[in-house]
Amino acid sequence: MKRRGGNKREEKKGRKKERGRGVGQAESEEEKRVEKNKEKRKEERRKRREREREREREREREREKKKKGRRERRWQSREREEVKEKRKKEKLKEKERKNR
């Protein structure tokens, strides 16, 4: 009794059932296989989520770096402006002294 097309595993399982022995074993093996696949998928999802979290953390770190850099540059430019102002005032004072 040969079947055409379809899944080989299903075909074998069908033959076992027809013979009437090892049916329980085949079913328990199938259940084990299904359970194993579930576990694999679960593990893959967990790993994927972990990778995604790590990527998000990395993005956050980069954002913080940029913020810090901008803050630093702003601070430096402000400091430069202050130095320029001081120089101007000093020059003015110097001119005042010379004029007197």
Residue with tokens 């980069």: 62
Q: Is residue 18 in a domain? A: no
* Angle formed at CA 4 by CA 22 and CA 17, multiple of 5 degrees: 15
Burial of 54 (0-12, 13-18, 19+ CB in 10 A): exposed
Domain of residue 56: give its range.
23-99
Number of domains in the chain: 1
> Could you tell me where the beta strands, DSSP code E, fall in 30-78?
none
Residue 81 lies in a domain: yes
Is the residue at 51 inside a domain? yes
The answer as to whether 62 is a domain residue is yes
pLDDT in tens, the chain (100 residues): 555 666 666 666 666 555 555 667 778 889 999 999 999 999 999 999 999 999 999 999 999 999 999 999 999 999 999 999 999 999 999 988 888 7
In a domain, 10, yes or no: no
